[in-house]
Amino acid sequence: MQALLALSKGIDRLNAFVGKYSIWLIFAATFISAANAIVRKVFDTSSNAFLEVQWYLFAWSFLIAAGYTLLHREHVRIDVINSRLSKKTQVWIDIIGFALFLTPLCITILWLSTPVAIQMYQSGEVSGNPGGLIRWPVWAAIPVGITLLMLQGWSELIKRIAFLTGNGPDPMGKLQDKSAEEELAEALRAEADRKQAEALAAQAKA
C-alpha cells in the first residue's frame, strides 16, 4: 500500500504542476484574441489561423487541466445528496465511480482518439479553412488530457482504498497545497519580513 500511496503522490504532483501552468495557455489565447481584434480593426485584415490557434489553446488548457480539477475535487457533484451520506458511503461511491465509470470511459476515449491523433500526425492533415492550421496538435490534446485524468482517477482511488483500510488520511479532507492567493500572501509577508530585517540591520550598524 505504501508503494501505491507513493505512486498516488507522484501523480498528484504531476497534475498539480500541469494545472498550475496550464493557465498560461488561457493567457496566450486571450492575448492572441486581443491582437487579432486589433489587427482586424486597424489593418482590416485577419487570418483563420488566429481563430484556430485560440481554440487549440483552449482545448489544451481544458483537457490537460481535467486531472488537476479532479485533484481539487472541483468536478460536478450532487452535493445535496452526497453530503447527507456517511463518510464511508461517500468514499465507496467514489471508489465505484473511479473504478467502474471513470477508468473504462478514459480507456475507451484513448482507444478511439489515439489512432486518430497518430493518423493526423502521419498525414499532416491541414484545416480546410483558408490559412488554417495542421490538425494533429489539437487532436493530441485528447489522449494527453485523458491520460492525466485517468491517472488522477487512479490516484484518488488509491487514496480512498487507503483510507478504508486505515492506511491513509481522509481523502475528503482539506487539501494540503496552498491556493494561489495563499502563496501570494505568504510571498508578500516574507518580502515584508525581509525588508524589516534589513532595516533593523541598517539601524544596528548606524
**DSSP output for 117-172:** HHHHHHHT-B-SSTTPPBSHHHHHHHHHHHHHHHHHHHHHHHHHHHHHTTSS--TT
Cell numbers standing for residue 45: 485584415
**Alpha-carbon torsion 180, 182, 185, 190, what sign?**
negative
pTM of the model: 0.75
Cα 6 from Cα 74, distance rounded (Å): 23
Number of alpha carbons in the 13 Å side-chain half-sphere of residue 72? 13
Helices (H) and strands (E) in the chain, counts: 8, 0
Mean pLDDT over the full length of the chain: 82
- Cβ atoms of 59 and 121 closer than 8 Å: no
All structural domains of the chain with their residue ranges: 2-175, 181-206
Tens-level pLDDT at each residue, the chain (206 residues): 778 888 888 998 999 999 888 888 888 888 888 888 888 888 777 777 778 888 889 889 989 999 988 888 877 766 667 677 787 888 888 889 899 999 999 999 999 999 999 998 998 888 877 777 888 888 999 999 999 999 999 999 989 888 888 877 777 765 555 555 555 566 667 777 777 777 777 777 76
Encode pLDDT of 57-112 as tens digits: 988 998 999 998 888 887 776 666 767 778 788 888 888 989 999 999 999 999 99
Cα 11 from Cα 152, distance rounded (Å): 6
